Amino acid sequence: MNNEKIIIIGGGVGPQAGTVLHNYIIENTLTDGTDQDHLDVYHFSRSSDIQDRTLALKNNQPGEPASGMYRTFKIAAASIDFENRKAVGGIPCNTFHAPAIFKIFTEMMGEFSNTITIVNMIEETIQSILKKSPIVNKIGIMSTTGTRNAGVYSKKLISSGFEIIEVPDEMQPELHNSIYNKEWGIKAVSPVSNTARTNFEKFSDYLIKNGAEIIILGCTEIPLAMPEREFKGVPLIDPMKLLARALIREANIMKLKMD
């Protein structure tokens, strides 16, 4: 029997973010050089069944995306059961981790608590930042309006003693539009459009000028526009990369590459 846990990607939230997470898992896995030594990854991308998370929060319908993702993991659970193995799962969407949505989802997942462990991407990100806390005080955050309004990162970071820097209220709709715009936004266009890249450079400049010592890319598509490790000398924190490493750690810690 294979004692390694299977990794489940609850994708489709947006679809390209799931493929990036899958790639991060491959990049951060130690193997003996063969295909067969890679971790087993079940990547389910079911966008049609998962309501937009920001819209769900705005309309006070957090159960909609939670239920859709639960159904995705129920399908995954059938595969896990067939192989008689256990799994660890992650969801590459920051807004999905808003407490109103994530709490409903984890309660639903109690049905599979003996076989599937869910990794919380926000917790992994915050724990990583806490390790840097002696040298970091001011944290910039770029995110969807849903993530921002729900305080997905800010509430926990503020309670941990950090100062949070975000773009001003009047600039947030432009940031959100740079993610969602159907003609040139990062969810709609691949590769990333020049307009979106230019906008995220502008938002990053604002955060840095206002004292940000690190910047959290708080939407899983933003790293598509800002793929570098730092911008103008300020580290860019990619929560999805931290999620990938956590999934590997939980599946088989011996296969986690040194960072």
> pLDDT, tens digit, for every residue of 77-136?
999 999 999 999 999 999 999 999 999 999 999 999 999 999 999 999 999 988 876 788
Burial profile 8-34: b = 16 or more Cβ within 10 angstroms, e = fewer: bbbbbbbebbbbbbbebbeebbeeeee
Are both 230 and 132 inside the same structural domain? yes
Tell me: do 57 and 158 sit in the same domain: no
What integer pLDDT is reported at residue 16 of this predicted model?
A: 86
Cβ neighbours, 10 Å, residue 90: 25
Residues 158 and 214 in one domain: yes
pLDDT above 80: residue 32: yes
128 and 195, same domain (yes or no)? yes
Report the chain's mean pLDDT, rounded to a whole number: 94
Tokens 């940031």 sit at which residue?
175
Domain that holds residue 177: 123-239
Q: Please tell me whether residues 166 and 234 are part of one structural domain.
A: yes
In a domain, 18, yes or no: yes
User: Looking at the domain assignment, is residue 36 inside a domain?
Assistant: yes
Does residue 27 fall inside a structural domain?
yes
- Does residue 127 lie in a domain region? yes
Average pLDDT on 130-154 reads 89
Q: pLDDT tier at 4 (50, 70, 90 boundaries)?
A: very high
pLDDT digits (tens, 9 = 90+) for 157-202: 999 889 999 999 999 999 999 999 999 999 888 889 999 999 999 9
Is 1 contained in some domain? no
Please check whether residues 23 and 110 belong to one and the same domain. yes
pLDDT score of 183? 95
Residue 226 tokens read as: 């800002």
- 113 and 54 in a common domain: yes
Q: pLDDT value at position 256? A: 97
Average pLDDT over residues 134-147: 91
For residue 2, pLDDT beyond 80: no
pLDDT of the residue at 133: 65
217 strand-pairing partners: 142
* Number of domains, the chain: 2
Return the pLDDT at 27: 96
Verify that 116 and 127 share a domain, yes or no: no
Q: What is the pLDDT of residue 154?
A: 94
Shared domain for 73 and 111, answered yes or no, is yes
pLDDT band with cut points at 50, 70 and 90 for residue 29: very high
Tell me the average pLDDT across 39-58: 95
Same domain, 197 and 142: yes
Q: Is residue 42 part of a domain?
A: yes
Which of 104 and 258 is assigned the larger pLDDT? 104
CATH of the domain at 215: 3.40.50.1860
Whether the per-residue pLDDT at 1 is higher than 80: the answer is: no
In a domain, 82, yes or no: yes
With respect to residue 204, please indicate whether it lies within any of the assigned structural domains: yes
Is pLDDT of 259 > 90? no
44 in Cβ contact with 76 (< 8 Å): yes
> pTM of the predicted model, to two decimals?
0.93
- Of 232, 224, 220, the closest CA to residue 9 belongs to 220
Q: Do 14 and 66 have their domain in common? A: yes
| 34 and 83 fall within a common domain | yes
Q: What is the CA radius of gyration of the chain?
A: 18
Q: What is the pLDDT of residues 64-81, one digit of tens each?
A: 999 999 999 999 999 999
